């Protein structure tokens, strides 16, 4: 089993089902060979807007995902400290650094994102960053 941290863009792509990438995202989420990992930061990125805008199906999709998560990055103070260090070392934006730090904190082997391979997160060592576009 591979511990896989799912970036928020992958969840949005899967839930909205508009793009060709949606099928790829859903296939990844449904894979029996993966154990899912996440954090409160991902939850904060996707759920509140869906709830506020009364996008019930989208909110339920996210809730279903979060209920399937096996590994949670619970030590947010440590994740924030590590995220700061990662941002400084690799030039990541704040949320990207938090997501990468959260993934590393739970021992994720891969981080699946909708970010293109030109983004600084691909410079991080010790974690395989995979673009949904390359899937």
86/124 Cα distance (integer angstroms): 8
Q: What is the pLDDT of residues 6-17, one digit of tens each?
A: 999 999 999 987
- Report the percentage of the chain scoring pLDDT > 90: 92
CA 55-68-15 angle, 5° bins = 30
> Considering only CA atoms, which of 117, 94, 104 is closest in space to residue 44?
94
Q: What is the pLDDT of residues 91-131, one digit of tens each?
A: 999 999 999 999 999 999 999 999 999 999 999 999 999 99
Give the confidence band of 44 by pLDDT, cuts at 50, 70, 90.
very high
State the burial class of residue 72 (Cβ atoms within 10 Å of its Cβ: 0-12, 13-18, 19+): middle
State the burial class of residue 52 (Cβ atoms within 10 Å of its Cβ: 0-12, 13-18, 19+): exposed
Alpha-carbon distances, residue 33 vs 18, 21, 30 (angstroms): 26, 20, 9
Q: Does pLDDT of 18 surpass 90?
A: no
What integer pLDDT is reported at residue 49 of this predicted model? 96
- CATH superfamily to which 2-134 belongs: 5'-nuclease (3.40.50.1010)
For residues 75-112, one letter each, b for 16 or more C-beta atoms within 10 angstroms of the residue's C-beta and e for the rest, the string is ebeebbebbeebbeebebeebbbbbbbbbbbbebbbbb
Mean pLDDT of 30-41: 96
């Amino acid at each position: 089993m591979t511990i896989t941290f799912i970036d928020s863009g992958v969840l949005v792509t899967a839930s909205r089902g508009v793009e060709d990438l949606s099928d790829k995202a859903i296939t990844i989420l449904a894979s029996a060979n993966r154990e899912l990992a996440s954090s409160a930061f991902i939850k904060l990125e996707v759920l509140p807007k869906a709830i506020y805008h009364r996008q019930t199906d989208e909110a339920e999709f996210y809730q279903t995902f979060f209920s399937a998560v096996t590994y949670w990055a619970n030590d947010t103070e440590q994740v924030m400290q590590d995220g700061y260090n990662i941002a400084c070392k690799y030039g990541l934006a704040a949320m990207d650094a938090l997501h990468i730090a959260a993934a590393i904190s739970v021992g994720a082997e891969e981080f699946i994102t909708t970010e293109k391979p030109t983004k600084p997160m691909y410079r991080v060592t010790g974690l395989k960053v995979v673009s949904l576009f390359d899937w």
